[in-house]
Amino acid sequence: MTALTAPAATGTAHTHGSPRLTRWLLRLHRSALLVWTVFVLLGSALLLWLAGPLTDAAAEGWRQYNACGTTPRCSYDQDAILFYKSTYNYVAAAMAGLPFLVAAWAGAALTGRELESGTAQLAWTQGVSPTRWLALRLAVPAVAVTAGASLLVLLHHRAWSAAQGRIDTGKPWHDVWTFHANGPTTVALALAGLVAGALAGLVLRRTLPALLLGLALAAGVWGTAQLLMPHLWPAVTEETSLQQGYGHLYSGIQVDHGLITASGGHVPKLECYTTVSGGCARELEKLDAVGYYSTYHPVSHYWPLQLTTGALVLAVAGLGTAAAFWLLRHRTATPRTTA
């Protein structure tokens, strides 16, 4: 790829103050700021509605259903239960998509389009250094993303907590979307998406390709975090005898499960149960199995997992930020001339 040239400032150019540059950046991306504001306000309103009237109506529906017992043709408010479930799932899915939305915008509009159209190079002729240009483009959106995503996380946790013990089909804490929407990993992933998109724009310097690359990088960060998350904190192992059965006695994030042999060894992920006869019983005897084990994270590990996963994602975002500044300095360095 060809190097970017940072044009020398003209004699009449002067260095703008940060407040003025920030105002100019907000005007340039006012449409994105408006969309983000509407997204946060709408999401907040839905979460407040979910935590109050919708949870109350669904809880009453479940109370009616549980009171029916075995009574045939018993009436209960099924619509309230289903409406609560649908609304919760839609809101959780929207929050799960935050890193990808931010990455797509950052790649397409924040850096890719400005480099492709020459807007960035024009700014560099007005006394704004490339480093300062990039710093503002990361800092200002980062503040908006952090504030908006943090508000949504707090309201989501409030809505989720309101349903616990009242709605039988409420999502458990370890549900994938619920786990992230309830804690700071959502904010960390959104910031990582911002960095991924900005870096993609600097690499490709074209709008659409940067959008696609930003999405791919954000997906890579999300998938890696999800894969590593269960292993970032020591898990708990529970054991049961063959007579007790496999016994899914845990309620949390499963790391491993399988059989325990007479020597104390573990045979992972062998789906074999004492209630099954024939080949399964022969397999248990062949392995000299004496019980089952389950390695998992209980609810007490929620915050350790949130904090370690968030720290990992922020570390990746930090590396991406350093790579973005290095790449920009490398491409805008003034070439040396020989005498």
pLDDT at 6: 54
pLDDT at 77: 86
Identity of residue 9: A
pLDDT at 335: 54
CA distance linking residue 158 with residue 155, whole number of Å = 5
Three-class DSSP category at 127: coil
Predicted TM-score (pTM) of the model is 0.86
CA distance linking residue 291 with residue 240, whole number of Å = 6
Residues paired with residue 236 on neighbouring β-strands, in sequence order: 296
Q: Tell me: the pLDDT tens digits for 252-268?
A: 898 888 888 887 777 77
Which residues, in sequence order, are CB contacts of 242 under 8 Å at separation 6+?
274, 284, 289, 290, 291, 292
pLDDT at 10: 45
pLDDT at 325: 94
pLDDT at 245: 64
Q: Dihedral (C-alpha) 246, 251, 256, 262: value to the nearest 10 degrees? A: -40
Q: For residues 153 and 189, is the Cβ–Cβ distance under 8 A?
A: no
Q: Of all helices (H) and strands (E), which one includes residue 104?
A: helix 98-105
Return the CA Rg of the chain: 27
How many C-beta atoms surround the C-beta of residue 137 within 10 A?
A: 22
Residues in the chain predicted with pLDDT less than 50, given as ranges, are: 1, 8-15, 274-277, 337-339
